[in-house]
Amino acid sequence: MAMTNIPKTAVIDDAASISRSLARAFDDDPMMRWFFPDASSREGSLGSYFTTIFTRQYVHNGVCERTDAAAAFWVPPEAQAKAVPDADTIQQLLNILGDRAGLFRDAVETAAGHTPQEPHWSLALIGADPAAQGQGQGAALLRSGLAKADTAGLPVYLESSKASNLPFYEHFGFTVREELPLPGDGPTLWTMWREPRRPVGV
């Protein structure tokens, strides 16, 4: 595995590079295009969005890892109550979203209503800069987080709004649980679940 593919813990000083990679990764994501329809400003808006949730939310209460051009934010079960945005963070996100804030709020509430209640790890997001896709950076991050969940003997939950990503997750043992049409004529959101696997060598 190349050095660029080795996951390392993300720290707050990584915010600029992580947000840049994620903004590029999610530029063609149906839900992010729905939230940020203006192509000319989307990369900047996405950068602000990811900077906000990383620096105010996940870096403090999640398990954040990165490679040179990819990042993943995970939330273990013991942190899920804390890994929700506070009032100031919500206001920052609404300011970034502008007139799409209502759609964002409705989408978040819809997804939250389908979150599993049993203890699980959550893959909040994962993405790689398209310029680095095909190098295995996203897969390396996914394997790293899944190994942690498997060691804990816990399942993993994620949500995806990009149909072409489903086979990638299925390759790693996820199955589709639900197919949710988001309100306001929004895109489809697929919820996915992966049962724990016995760690290698155990």
* Whether pLDDT at 3 is above 80: no
| pLDDT at residue number 201 | 59
Mean pLDDT of 160-180: 97
Domains of the chain: 3-194 (3.40.630.30)
Task: Give yes or no for a contact between 125 and 167, defined as CB atoms under 8 angstroms apart.
Answer: no
Q: What is the pLDDT of residues 28-67, one digit of tens each?
A: 999 999 999 999 999 999 999 999 999 999 999 999 999 9
The dihedral built from the CA positions of residue 45, 51, 57 and 63, taken in this order, carries a sign that is positive
CA–CA distance from 159 to each of 4, 14, 39 (Å)? 26, 24, 24
Q: What is the pLDDT of residues 94-153, one digit of tens each?
A: 999 999 999 999 999 999 899 999 999 999 999 999 998 889 999 999 999 999 999 999
Greatest alpha-carbon pair distance for the chain in Å reads 52
* Whether pLDDT at 1 is above 50: no
* Whether pLDDT at 2 is above 80: no
What is the percent of the chain where pLDDT is above 90? 86
| pLDDT at residue number 114 | 92
